[in-house]
Amino acid sequence: MSDRGSGGQAAAIAGPSHIRDTAKIPFIIIFLLPAFVFLAVFLYYPIAETFRISTTKSTGIGQELYVGLGNYLSLIQNEEFLAGLWHVFMWAFWSILIQLPIAFLIAFSLTFYVNKFTKPLRSIFYLSNVLPTAIVAMIGRFMFAPKTGIIASISKALGWKWLGAIDFMGNPDMAFWTLFAIATWMYTGFPIIFLMARIEQIPKEVREAAELDGATGWRYAFSIVLPQLSYPFRIIMVLMTTGSLKLFDLPYILLTGGPGNATVTLGITLYRDGFINWNYGRAAAIGVVIFVLSLGLTIAQFSLGNKKEAK
Amino acid sequence: MSQAENAAIVRRGRRSIRIRHGLPEVIITVFLLSLALVIILPMIIPFMFVFKTQMEYNYHPWALPKALNWINFREAWKAVRIDQGLMNTVLVSFGAIATTVPPAALAGYIFARYRSKATEIAFYAILIGYFVPAQMVLVPLYKMEVAFRIKDTLVGLFLPMAAFGIPFWVLIYRSFFATLPQELSEAARIDGAGHTFTFFKVMLPLANPATALALLLVFIGAWSDYLLSLILLSSSKNFTMQLRVTSFLYAYGPDRMPKYAAAAVIAMLPTVILYIIGHKYIIQGTVAGAVKE
């Protein structure tokens, strides 16, 4: 083996190594083929189809009728769709405003105070993130259900009538925030571990120098660590925004978008239009809206960040 | 400087920091621990109820159970045919692994090691898939599955899952293969190994960490799926665990708490156990994108 190896090396030095690379092109094609077959069938073709169907009136049976922008026009007059759009933006807004700062404070504290109690916490904070949404909905219902839920039964045991009187899921003004609290419980682990990975990359010397300069604790967190996090912050903001646009499982399983339209999202309107009312055309139009918004907002958030950095 | 000396300095440094922080560190640690309790408690509370009869629960919900009573598990198990659900979900998860990981590994290898204008363009075409939300393609996907007669089958469920997963794993494999030293594959090629041989015998085994991560996360992802199952499966014998859990949620609700809690525990355990085994990998893989700029 070693003999052949050195002989081969000599040959390689003697002549250019791409001599026998006639096999290269078919090899590349064969290796890329499986991935592209999957994407072509289940992604590229359906994407094109979605655009086409969104301009038709179609129920799956019978003829499709070309209606141009008719579906989109009907959407902007549709109360449920507008409610979904509003909730999706509120969801993204509050995620960025509430979950992101919480995540930063936890991530910073976990990396700043490393001791035997805080070390295992990173894994614990991320645990709720890997639970299936159906389980989280189950746990959520189990906590917040009126009369029989854990919170209701704790408030009964403690005699706290005010707490027992709150209708967490039936009150339309409350339902959004109950969902948001459950989502915060479920999803904040991701920004925590994401930010921690970046904070841990800051060299130890930086912290030592900061302490010599008297920048300890919160001063260190806000004036030295925070500015280093603009890239992960941008990624997380993009993920929170696109995640809100796609939001479906949690509000649907827990409250099916209700009470009324109180927790309807774009994902839920798409599902209802497409697979309950069998209005394919309008469901496809909602799909296009979700796609265009997530693409547009992703590009916007990245280019805004870049401009700021260029200054 | 010797390693022992280094360690001593690190230790000294730590101690000085600890003394300086003192009280704030204690307060923050307690605060973090109580937050962790908020995460864990809702998952633990069900265990307090699962062994109680409905009567026992009604009168003493917070007391310890009188006896280990397994009837809730048995009834929850029967009510939603959890055995059938587990079977379907495991099949879907393995199907998703088998159809996601190999295509992604092959393509990722090409994008890392055979860079040219053409492969660059192909890479961007894959990247598009990473940004397309599954919601966007649901309607055509459904119509297509009806036409191919794979709607309401487990195969029809894991094939699109694979298509949605491949772009992400291509990215992971690509960056993983790119970090392996170029000399390795060159040495193998000089030894007379063909492209295919080099990949399967030399490079792929070196990518085992990426493959382990992919196996774990694709499994968890398929296990947790809800939206695709909801749309593509219609007969109850094909229902996956998540669909069964939700149907249980609607049928019983917390007014039949012990049984409800038993179902939650059964449905929660596999993911939690997998997480306990693989949490280091899972966290590492999840933040893989954070360290690059």
Alpha-carbon torsion angle A52, A54, A60, A62, nearest 10:
-70
ipTM for the whole complex: 0.84
Kindly tell me the burial class for residue A290, based on how many C-beta atoms sit within 10 Å of its own C-beta (0-12, 13-18, 19 or more): buried
Task: Provide the 3-class DSSP secondary structure of residue A40.
Answer: helix
Token duo for residue B278: 């693989």
Which of B33, B241, B264 is nearest residue A139 as measured by Cβ atoms? B264
Which residue matches tokens 């060299």? A203
Residues of chain A above pLDDT 70, percent: 91
Rg (Cα) of chain A, in Å, rounded? 27
Contacts of A194 in chain B (CB under 8 A): 286-287, 290
**Does B38 contact A185 at a Cβ distance shorter than 8 Å?**
yes
CB of B238 within 8 A of CB of B154?
yes
When comparing pLDDT for A75 and B249, which is higher? A75
The model's pTM is 0.86
Number of helices (H) and strands (E), helices first, in chain B? 14, 0
Q: Cα(B152)–Cα(B24) distance, rounded to whole angstroms?
A: 57
β-strands A65-66, A56-57 pairing: antiparallel
Task: Provide the 3-class DSSP secondary structure of residue B188.
Answer: helix
Beta partners for residue A66, in sequence order: A56
Phi, psi of B4 (to 5 degrees): -60, -45
Q: Considering Cα of B164, then B231, then A88, then A44, what sign does the dihedral take?
A: positive
Q: For chain A, say whether B215 makes contact (Cβ under 8 Å).
A: no
Crossing angle (nearest 10°) for helices B208-224 and B154-179: 150
Query: Digits of tens for pLDDT over chain B (293 positions)?
Result: 444 545 444 444 444 444 456 788 889 999 999 999 999 998 888 888 888 888 787 777 777 777 777 888 888 888 778 889 889 999 999 999 999 999 999 999 999 989 899 999 999 999 888 888 888 999 999 999 999 999 999 999 999 999 999 999 999 899 889 888 888 878 887 888 888 888 888 888 988 888 988 998 899 889 889 999 999 999 889 999 889 888 887 877 777 778 888 888 887 888 889 899 888 888 888 787 555 44
Contacts of A157 in chain B (CB under 8 A): 62
Q: Which residue in chain A is spatially nearest to B40 when comparing CA positions? A: A124
C-alpha to C-alpha distances, B212 to A127, A131, B95, B162, B255, nearest whole angstrom? 19, 20, 16, 17, 42
**Does B144 contact A113 at a Cβ distance shorter than 8 Å?**
no
**CB < 8 Å from A in window 2-61 of B:** 13, 17-18, 20-21, 24-25, 28-29, 31-33, 35-36, 38-40, 42-43, 45-46, 61
**Does A287 contact B139 at a Cβ distance shorter than 8 Å?**
yes
Determine which of B49, B137, B148, B241 to mutate to test the interface with A (most A C-beta atoms within 10 Å): B137
Contacts of B142 in chain A (CB under 8 A): 274-275
